Amino acid sequence: MTVKTFKTWYLVHKWTSLICTAFLLMLCITGLPLIFHHEIEHLLGDTPEVAEMPAGTPIVPLDRLVAAAQQQRPGEQVMFMSWDDEEPELAWITTGPDMKANENLHFLAFDNRTGEVLKLISQNELSFMRIMFQLHVDLFAGLPGKLFLGFMGLLFVVAIVTGIAVYGPLMRKLDFGTVRKQRSARVKWLDLHNMLGIVTVVWALVVGGTGVINTWADLIIKYWQFDQLASMTAPYVGQPMPATLGSLEAAMATARKAAPDMDPAFVAFPGGNFSSPHHYAFFMRGDAPLTARLLKPVLVDAQTAALTDTRDMPWYVTALLVSQPLHFGDYGGMPLKVIWALFDIVTIVVLGSGLYLWLKRRRNPIEQRIRELEQDAGAPLGLAARSSL
Amino acid sequence: MNMKLWGMPILLGLLSGIGLIAALLDDGLWAGLAWLALGFPTVFLAG
């Protein structure tokens, strides 16, 4: 590597890191409780507790749950019904002021064996986890906030790649994992920054990269609606809105037949953004950690319960869906969550030590900095064309 | 390639990659492999 090349990598690493560090620290800190959101919500009493019942207890018809939701939230529309694969006894119904609403939504948790409403959560309630979630996802700023954080994530990815590039020249004369504790605090933290950064580099690249992809989720879904959903529902364009809806239970039977060996993740009701005015749109999933994330839409006529269309998701939605578990770390049980949290804490230390190194920097030209780094490393950095310094 | 310099980072990177993918494939043994593979870098840091 020439001096000029090293200088370029070093400056790009420094500036991309500096710009994104504050936001990445916020993302790592808010991400930490989000890794354990299920456990924390249970502790805080924010999730419904289901009663123990004998295995095989029959579930109540879906239409009864829908009627109960309409009774609970008069004047609101039923938008979605969803099921959590970790808590199969629960059915969640989302209601809103209209079918395309994004705000003022309510979430009703039903025990699907009794039909009892266990919990009503308002979208406007600001719980601890909700604050962590919104800060982490969009800084309470909607799509612009998401895209901004996505840009910060991109800078983070560039900082990691350039960090690998400068790692080689900086560490070539040191044994792996060396931390020179007897030297100045700055040298000690430089060694720690390099060691912790290189040990966690693959995890940080994957979680950072998938985080960036997740910030594009709204745009990806919008494009899918325009690209795929529109063509799936094209035969119904121009037809009058159905006056009444048919049975959700019958539509569910059709969806299960169309996607055997899969279970519903959620169903979007007619008239919403994920459906058409004429369809129940079922989003089916498998039962393995990966296939549980790969949704398959099944459109069922909301009046006749006849199958309209089903197809696999296109590559760009599949990429988004696969990126989600790789970002959340929620696909390998509690041990994986603990590992995720440890990597997250190490990343906080890497970010913090990088900031410390910059604050304690010596205000010298980069050529002198390279000479200082050579002194710190106890040997030349192995850069070609040293005479050009 | 200088294996003294890059040997451990490549090994840890491979283990991390295997761990990240393994748990996606299935529960049980695959999840166990993921814990081991991803746990190795954290054990290294603890040491």
What are the tokens at A265? 């993740």
Query: Number of H helices and number of E strands within chain A?
Result: 13, 8
Contact (CB, 8 A) for A335 and B23 = no
Sheet holding A296-301, edge to edge: A116-122, A106-111, A87-96, A77-84, A263-268, A279-285, A296-301, A307-310
Q: What is the pLDDT of residue A385?
A: 52
A chain contacts of residue B23, beta-carbon cutoff 8 Å: 289, 331-332, 336
Q: Do B9 and A199 touch (CB under 8 A)?
A: yes
Q: Which residue has the tokens 């996607």?
A: A259
* Mean pLDDT, range A41-58, rounded to an integer: 87
Compute the distance between CA of residue A104 and CA of residue A116 in angstroms, rounded to an integer: 23
Burial of residue B28 (CB within 10 Å: 0-12, 13-18, 19+) is exposed
pLDDT of residue A135 exceeding 90:
yes
Return the minimum-mean-pLDDT range out of A20-24, A43-47, A71-75.
A43-47
When the pLDDT of each residue in chain B is averaged and rounded to a whole number, the result is: 91
The three-state secondary structure class of A330 is coil
Q: Over the Cα atoms of chain B, what is R_g? A: 12
Query: From the candidates A199, A200, A348, which should be mutated to test the interface with B, based on the most B CB atoms within 10 A?
Result: A199
Chain B touched by A165 (CB under 8 Å): no
Size of interface A-B (CB pairs under 8 A): 82
Report the 10 Å Cβ neighbour count for A365. Answer: 9
Q: What is the pLDDT of residue A177?
A: 85
Return the minimum-mean-pLDDT range out of A11-20, A219-228, A246-255, A355-364.
A355-364
Confidence label for A3 from pLDDT (cuts 50, 70 and 90): confident
Q: What is the pLDDT of residue A241?
A: 83
Contacts of A219 (CB under 8 A, 6+ apart): none
Chain B touched by A214 (CB under 8 Å): no
* Mean pLDDT, range A165-186, rounded to an integer: 88
pTM: 0.89
What are the tokens at A369? 């900095």
A77 phi-psi bin (left φ>0, alpha ψ -120 to 50, beta other): beta
Q: How far is B16 from chain A (nearest CA, A)?
A: 6
When the pLDDT of each residue in chain A is averaged and rounded to a whole number, the result is: 91
Q: Do A290 and B24 touch (CB under 8 A)?
A: yes
Q: What is the pLDDT of residue A157?
A: 98
- pLDDT tens-digit series, residues A277-324: 999 999 999 988 899 999 999 999 999 999 999 999 999 999 999 999
Across-strand partners of A264? Answer: A284
- pLDDT tens-digit series, residues A259-279: 999 999 999 999 999 999 999
Q: Do A346 and B25 touch (CB under 8 A)?
A: no
Give the residue from chain A lying closest to B7, CA to CA.
A176
Q: Do B38 and A198 touch (CB under 8 A)?
A: no
Q: Do B16 and A203 touch (CB under 8 A)?
A: yes
A chain contacts of residue B38, beta-carbon cutoff 8 Å: 203, 336, 339, 343
Compute the distance between CA of residue A163 and CA of residue A186 in angstroms, rounded to an integer: 18
Q: What is the pLDDT of residue A388?
A: 32
Q: Do B45 and A326 touch (CB under 8 A)?
A: no
Contact (CB, 8 A) for A200 and A343 = yes
Confidence label for A389 from pLDDT (cuts 50, 70 and 90): very low
A chain contacts of residue B4, beta-carbon cutoff 8 Å: 175-176
Give the residue from chain B lying closest to A171, CA to CA.
B5
Report helix angle A201-215 to B3-25, nearest 10: 50
pLDDT of residue A217 exceeding 60:
yes
* Mean pLDDT, range B18-30, rounded to an integer: 93
- Among A251, A244, A249, A247, CA closest to A60: A249
Contacts of A91 (CB under 8 A, 6+ apart): A62, A65, A81, A82, A83, A109, A110, A112
Q: What are the phi and psi torsion angles at B44 (to 5°)?
A: -60, -45
Identify which of B6, B17, B26 has the shortest CB distance to residue A288: B26
Q: How far is A291 from chain B (nearest CA, A)?
A: 9
* Mean pLDDT, range A69-97, rounded to an integer: 94
The three-state secondary structure class of A119 is strand
Contacts of A9 (CB under 8 A, 6+ apart): A1, A162, A165, A166
Confidence label for A362 from pLDDT (cuts 50, 70 and 90): low
